[in-house]
Structure 1
Amino acid sequence: MSVVVFGAEKGGVGKSTLAENSAAVRAELGYRVVIADFDNQGTCSKWVSRRDEDPALSKIDVRRLAADKRSDVGAFAALIQELADTYDDVFIDVGGQDSAVFRASLAVADKIIVPLTPSPDDLDTVPDLADVVRRFDKPLDIRVVLNMTSGQPIMLRDMKKGLASYADILPLMPKTIGTRVAFKYAKVSGKGVAELSAKDGYDANAANEIKDLYLGVFGK
């Protein structure tokens, strides 16, 4: 059983999309997969709902606490324990701000993936996250993935340079993920990009990037 957290302090970095696609790969391999959706927008929940409309797709479940319970650490812990007892893999989609629930997700995580885009605003979130990780009371298997990187080589270079000083605490995954319209096509149909067909927007680059991400998380 594994618990994988996709978390980011700032919105719009693609954490829900990467959680969905990673879960889709895992489910296709035959694992029992659930997404614990703690994103206020419920993005993953909507994606799973669309996925359920196609019985040919591998099954992925989703669980979501009521709005008044999403900041309740006790409710969070009880839900994650229940899911860990039932599924092979639990993917947690959560905001990365220094909140009690975010810290609770770090405490139970086997792997933590922090998506960032090449932008000054995203880079500005790194010192606070690094401080949280440094003060945490156990070693964390955490890494940063640069997402939506297409068409901005200078900013990508500067982002990598800025992250280099945090490499000891927030290591950077070697492969980046481009800005691919295939992710939008997949989201509309409740699929992962690797599950798209040629007629509904399959993109080999997107599929290979998700494969690289998956291998970076699970190693096989």
Structure 2
Amino acid sequence: MQPVVLLSSPKGGCGKSSLSRNILVSAAQAGKRVVGVDLDKQGTLTTWSERRERARVAVPSLPPVPVIPAELDDWREALAHARATDADLIVVDTPPSVELNLNAVLSLSSAADLILVPSQTTMDDVDSTAPWMKRLLATQAKAAFILNRANRRTRAFSTIRARLVAVGPICPIEVGQFEEIPAAAGKGLGVLDLTRTNSGETFEALWSYVAREVGL
């Protein structure tokens, strides 16, 4: 079956939707057929996908990135719907506050081939994401932190990264605070849809990591 990448974190605003859409676009630009599943009631990934379809009317060369909106409690039906497509990869965006939906999120996690837990470089993020990573690893899930909106030049970067490494695996690619990421999203695009980028290599490397981890 198609591999499933799950973006999951109890911390709101850590970039789950942003990373989801850019992983989807990166895979699509690499020639993979993709589908997203949006389980967040805010529907951020769904809204972006609708915006992308409007952009594709003007630029048909943009690869399609369909997204299936669903409720978290209906994740099995949504995942079955996604698996019924001809996609090579499924990326699932989840809501924050996992402790309010613990059983559903843990069950969903057991169906994922890779779980990425976004974290910014603050102690608030560590306090939120570290216990979640421990719980995921206790279920034998394949999970890794991914540093998002990170700045290597700050002292906090090294401190927070060290704390996360002490808890669980960490993705070797961190995503910086690039203005082009939200700018592209506002047009229904991902970074790798753009012709000139500052973060293109970052997302190419992130896709290489994801593809290797899920066997693509």
TM-score normalized with structure 2 length = 0.88
**Letter in structure 1 aligned against 2:166:** S
Task: Measure how far apart 1:71 and its partner are.
Answer: 4.0
The aligned counterpart of 1:95 is 95
Contact persistence 2:117–2:129 (CA under 8 A): no
Alignment partner of 1:36 is 2:37: yes
Correspondent of 1:121 among 113, 119, 124? 124
**May I ask how many residue pairs the two structures share in their alignment?**
204
Contact persistence 2:114–2:143 (CA under 8 A): yes
Contact persistence 1:95–1:102 (CA under 8 A): no
Q: Runs of at least 4 residues of structure 1 off by over 3 A? A: none
- Is the partner of 1:180 in helix, strand or coil? coil
Provide the rounded CA distance (Å) in 1 between the counterparts of 2:37 and 2:172. 27
Provide the rounded CA distance (Å) in 1 between the counterparts of 2:172 and 2:89. 24
- Identity across the alignment (%): 25
Provide the rounded CA distance (Å) in 1 between the counterparts of 2:171 and 2:201. 15
Task: Measure how far apart 1:127 and its partner are.
Answer: 3.4
The aligned counterpart of 1:210 is 203
Contact persistence 1:3–1:109 (CA under 8 A): yes
**Letter in structure 2 aligned against 1:47:** W
- Note closer, same or farther for the CA distance 1:92–1:71 as it changes in structure 2 (3 Å cut): closer
The aligned counterpart of 2:164 is 163
The aligned counterpart of 1:104 is 107
Task: Measure how far apart 1:151 and its partner are.
Answer: 6.9
Correspondent of 2:176 among 148, 159, 178? 178
Provide the rounded CA distance (Å) in 2 between the counterparts of 1:120 and 1:152. 17
Contact persistence 1:71–1:100 (CA under 8 A): no
Contact persistence 1:26–1:33 (CA under 8 A): yes
Q: Deviations over 1:10-44 (max 9, x none)?
A: 11111111110110111223322111001221111
Task: Measure how far apart 1:130 and its partner are.
Answer: 2.9
- Considering only aligned residues, what root-mean-square deviation do their CA atoms show, in Å? 1.7
Q: Deviations over 1:55-113 (max 9, x none)?
A: 22101111112xxxx242xx211221221132221110013524222112211101111
The aligned counterpart of 1:58 is 63
The aligned counterpart of 2:150 is 149
Task: Measure how far apart 1:192 and its partner are.
Answer: 0.9
Provide the rounded CA distance (Å) in 2 between the counterparts of 1:47 and 1:126. 26
- Structure 2, gaps ≥5 residues long: none
- Is the partner of 2:35 in helix, strand or coil? strand
Provide the rounded CA distance (Å) in 1 between the counterparts of 2:148 and 2:72. 27
- Note closer, same or farther for the CA distance 1:82–1:149 as it changes in structure 2 (3 Å cut): same
Provide the rounded CA distance (Å) in 1 between the counterparts of 2:24 and 2:130. 29
Provide the rounded CA distance (Å) in 1 between the counterparts of 2:7 and 2:133. 16
**Letter in structure 2 aligned against 1:93:** D
